[in-house]
A = this chain, B = another copy of it.
Amino acid sequence: MSDEKADVSASSAPDVQAPPAPAKRIPEATVLRLPVYQRILAELVRAGARTVSSEQLAELARLNAAKVRKDLSLLGSFGTRGSGYDPGFLISQIDRALGVDENWSVAIVGIGNLGRALTNSAAFASRGCQVTSLFDIDPAVVGEEIRGMKVRHMDEIATLGAEDRPDIGVITTPGWSAQGVADLLVRAGVTSLLNFAPRVLDVPPSVHLRYVDLSIELQVLGFYRARQEEDGRAGSHGGERGPLMRAVGLSARSDLD
């Protein structure tokens, strides 16, 4: 296995695009957890933590330490035996692994409550993605300016040139128009879709498609709740107090956002 801990020096150097070699193929299960670590690490950094152990990370992420170590070791050997990991450095490595340097452009179609929430979401506006265009069909909304972007009419999607074409299309319309929007986006050449509308979309297999289904999350949560009650092992998990957020040194005053 390749040891590319070499380029540790100054992380912010105007270094070349050099992706030293992805080391290993990162398994899907790990990919899904990386952003979780990232978020936790960001909070630790904000709280001033200098190091973090796999066990601490595990507790915050509600996983176990071995899994955390395996996941992180796939990115390279970035820990220090005996003390742990440097949160800031880890973030940069995860960013690299996730390809955050790519900076995808994102179009949001459907500027209702959800579309607005996403547009304004700080999280959505960073970390490798940037919302670059907004579309709607309602004349009352088209033309409105949100965060410096004018909402355009959906018909304009068809006229997007290769230049303006977003990398990722986010669908936040009502269900009844989601398929039409998807067709528009696909025809315009968009190859990645994130669908929030409560509809199953029919797009070519070559298009990457993910669903975020708000009601599914609720249902799944309800299911586990029910299972837990059935099992009779309610609260059997152990401790009464929350994880070691505080132990790590996170005070309650992370009021900056």
Contacts and interface: CB of A to CB of B under 8 A. Distances in A.
Interface of A: 4, 19-20, 31-32, 35-36, 39-40, 43, 60-62, 98-100, 102, 104, 106, 112-114, 116-118, 120-124, 126-129, 167-168, 170, 174-176, 179, 191-192, 194, 198-200, 202-206, 208-228, 230, 233-243, 245-246, 252, 254-257
Contacts of A224: 31, 192, 208
When all copies of this chain in the complex are counted, the total is 2
A239 B205 contact: yes
Residue of A36, A191, A206, A216 contacting most chain B CB atoms (<10 Å): A216
Give the dominant DSSP class at A's interface: mixed
The 6 closest A-B pairs by CB, nearest first: A123-B215, A113-B117, A99-B226, A202-B242, A114-B117, A202-B245
Given A99-B223, A120-B113, A123-B215, A205 B237 contact: yes
A31 to B, nearest CB: 6
Contacts of A214: 118, 121, 123-124, 212
